[in-house]
Amino acid sequence: MDYQLIDYLSEFITPERNELFERILDQRTRYISIVLENIFQPQNASAAMRSVDCFGLQDAHVIENGNIFEVDREVAMGATKWLNVKKYNQKEENSLDAIRHLRKQGYRIVATTPHEGDTNLEDFDLRKGKVALFFGTELTGISEVVKEEADEFLKIPMYGFTESFNISVSAAVILHHLTLKMRSDSSINWQLTKEERAEIKLCWLRRTIKSSDLIEEKYHMRKDTNSEKP
């Protein structure tokens, strides 16, 4: 990681914006991530992305099994600009591809759906390790592949006639509860590493600064020239 480049690009934003970046990075986490499986309503997917950013998650994973992920800009309010969004749409079974990728990164696969042996949100144990929360389509929920592969099942307790919230509301409720529990538990190492902070900040700087590619090119030219001097 070129930390000097980050310092250099930071000179092209205001001190207030730089301070804001650092403050948000202090609260950013990859301990919890969400996975949207084949969501076909842009409003719901975009609202979920907005919650991901608001609750301090950095990563969102999108599985496109037929339905293409589209952002409703009015709903998302620019949230995806600050997130790492990884799409899975190149395999015959994209859901399984996502599960394998997340497992390699040390995530527990948690399906958010009522299921025999599921756990109520209040009782979910965050101390057991990183969590990837899977949310399914509005009509049919998560796929059979996710149900078969899931390590755990999580549900929001319901006390009315309606059986479920929509995807965006479910995501907001679950993320509010789990991130609050995560941040209040000193035994959970949820914050970003130094390298992760630098990587994310560099990405934000590039997305924020006008003509950042040209500025970065000049930086490298100057650095190469200085290295050639005796």
Integer-rounded Cα Rg, in Å, for the chain is 20
pLDDT at 123 over 90: yes
Edge to edge, the sheet with strand 59-63 lists: 84-88, 59-63, 32-37, 131-135, 108-112, 152-155, 119-120
Which of 21-25, 65-69, 225-229 has the weakest average pLDDT? Answer: 225-229
CATH 3.40.1280.10, the chain: domain bounds: 29-183
Taking only the tens place, the pLDDT of each residue in 178-215 is: 999 999 999 999 999 999 999 999 999 999 999 999 99
CATH of the domain spanning 29-183: 3.40.1280.10
- Confidence at 164, pLDDT banded by 50, 70, 90: confident
Instruction: Identify the CA nearest to 127 among candidates 178, 53, 60.
Output: 178
